[in-house]
Amino acid sequence: MDNIKQLIDELRQELNENNYKYYVLNAPTISDKEFDDKMAQLERLEKENPQYYDPYSPTQRVGSDITKSFKQVTHNRPMLSLANTYSVAEVTEFFNRVKNALGDEPFQIVGEMKFDGTSISITYENGRMTQAVTRGDGLKGDDVTDNVKTIRSIPLQLRQNCNYPQHFEVRGEILMPWKVFDSLNKEREYNEEPLFANPRNAAAGTLKLQNSTEVARRKLDAYLYYLLGDNLPFDNHYDNLMAMKDWGFKVSEAVKVLNSINDVENFIAYWDKERKHLPVATDGLVFKVNSLRQQLNLGYTAKNPRWAIAYKFQAERECTKLQSVSFEVGRTGVITPVANLEPVLLSGTIVKRASLHNEDIIRNLDIHDGDMLYVEKGGEIIPKIVGVNIEKRIPGSSPISFVSHCPACGALLRRVDGEAAWVCPNKYNCPPQITGKIEHFVGRHAMNIDGIGEEVAEQLFASGLVKNIADIYDLDINKLLSLDRFGLKSAQRIMNGIAESRNIPFERVIFALSIPFVGETVAKKIAFATKDIDTLMDMNVEQLSAIEEIGNKIAQSIVEYFAIPENRSIIERLRNAGLQMHTNEDATNMSDILSGKTIVISGIFNHHSRDEYKKIIEANGGKNSGSISSKTSFILAGENMGPAKLDKANKLGIKIINEEQFLSIINSGIADTAPQIS
């Protein structure tokens, strides 16, 4: 019996190692037949000896045909997106910003490929994969562990004799190689199924299939590009990537340490051409500061890390014929003209439509009926009309005219003052505006009510069941079952989503209301400042404008929204339905240790980033300031504090403390005991 267990363990180890050499190193040492024979032997031994079952065995990558739903998981660390640039000049600006922020401290940049797939975060415990979660909204994602286990370039069990941390997280991109994509689309075309638009959509759709056997069949690939954890082997990004490669992860060969802006420019020039020879889709490059300590000190904006940036390759351009222009009504009433094009292949996808945005763009481009239009993919994602081939214009063709009345409800359009947009003013009776608000309200970043997409939103409105967002909470199983093509399972899914939406936090409720100009970030600022819906509804333009990042335009829009009786009525109905109409902050995380104190942060820190220290200051009653004055209570100083600030602090007699002293203050609860340092 012990001999059988030993043989099984040896086969598993050998197959894992050969899997690594084949899928990660692209350097197999045994033939496919030898690999298959060993796999068959292992499968037979495991079947005959079920007591030695191991979910991490290489035989377990085939997947299961059991249908399941995906549970949402909160990321331990948010998965933020990167700021985009489209020129070498903008990358140079990023380089100089980093240089200025770090002072005289030398730094390196790591250049990488920006793969065009779907982001994933994978957790490992004691060398074994325990969980794989999609990016989702950056804060929460879907647990797709079973599906990720089928991807052969992602290790289930790390290679033996490697010194990896007990617990860590890797992030990367799951991709569908071009060959697999083309083969899959040929198969779908033969079966008269809709074709995938591009490998990115195909990969994302495959990863969310509820049948992991089908996921395994589609042969997804992956590149891993970031290591996170508390006990990383190295203090820099590049060496951690090389360690990941040794452990068994597939890391791009394009990764390179760059020591100057000249190195960065050469890296861009090289990959702008060579990327077209890669087996997977790419849409740019990524540049990251190498030092993890410097990354920490550079910190984050509300949406992006300051220590990394994405460079998007110049868009490809094609010329195709304009077949017609349609006019679509958005949820805020804005009319958007859309060019319907003769299909054209662009950056690996078929383009049939492209937004013309507004009347001014149509006029400036001087678009006529039947024109041949130049189309680009902005960042190789969004199709964009960039010009007209005048030489191929049809003689006597008429210029495209913008509509004067709403194409949906017939209302006379009005021009927004100071803007290019034409708007349908019929906000409460125009079908696309109502269904658009319903679709936005139930969306994942808002109330996250699963089962209501564009088609169902239109169906609910057309049936008379939902005429505004508050009507959603009057739905029940029987009402939903009265709709065409609705079964008990789909109806119950919607009802479950409605019940769960009552726990959605206040800031997302604000975002879900479709107040013009109030996006996710603004909604969070408003929720933090106002604390509850009644305070928000009673505020005037001046009070709202005093909130950070809330300008007069946004403030005016909020006041106008709540001035409409129908909107206030909807708010009351949502309140009565049990939605969160106030913040639920944990008071135990707040203190008044720094109450009344104004603090300036300067230098580079080891324990927290500047942004984190700003939050700590605010959470404990203090106020952050960017400049030193007689009102400054003290300066929180890290390494390389600016000499000008130091000189001014000394002249004004401002107390200077380091981060250890500051953290001691926070922990002790006494703000006036720190000694001055020089």
Q: Which two tokens stand for residue 207?
A: 């990863």
Q: With CA atoms as reference, report the closest residue to 402 among 436, 353, 351, 367.
A: 367
| Cα dihedral sign, 138-143-145-147 | negative
Helices 565-576 and 552-562 cross at an angle (nearest 10°) of 80
d(C-alpha 586, C-alpha 161), whole Å = 45
| Active-site option among 5, 33, 38, 114 | 114
Q: Quick one: 22 exposed, middle or buried, by C-beta within 10 A (0-12, 13-18, 19+)?
A: middle
Q: Chain-centre distance of CA 261, in angstroms?
A: 28
d(C-alpha 345, C-alpha 348), whole Å = 6
CA geometry: angle 641, 308, 613, nearest 5 deg? 40
> Cβ neighbours of residue 456 under 8 Å, at least 6 residues apart?
494
CA geometry: angle 670, 671, 673, nearest 5 deg? 80
| Three-state secondary structure call for residue 278 | coil
Q: With CA atoms as reference, report the closest residue to 638 among 612, 618, 619.
A: 612
d(C-alpha 224, C-alpha 245), whole Å = 9
Residue type, 369: D
Q: Quick one: 217 exposed, middle or buried, by C-beta within 10 A (0-12, 13-18, 19+)?
A: middle
| CB neighbourhood size of 331 (10 A) | 19
Q: With CA atoms as reference, report the closest residue to 340 among 314, 322, 320, 327.
A: 322
Q: Locate tokens 């107390």: which residue?
A: 655
d(C-alpha 312, C-alpha 307), whole Å = 17
Q: With CA atoms as reference, report the closest residue to 511 among 455, 606, 580.
A: 580
Query: How many residues can be counted in the chain?
Result: 678
Concerning whether 114 is annotated as a catalytic residue, the answer is yes
| CB neighbourhood size of 126 (10 A) | 11
Q: Locate tokens 């994509």: which residue?
A: 181
d(C-alpha 223, C-alpha 241), whole Å = 11
- DSSP per-residue string spanning 360-378: HHHHHHT-BTT-EEEEEEE
d(C-alpha 503, C-alpha 580), whole Å = 7
CA geometry: angle 545, 546, 548, nearest 5 deg? 95
- The residues that are catalytic are 114
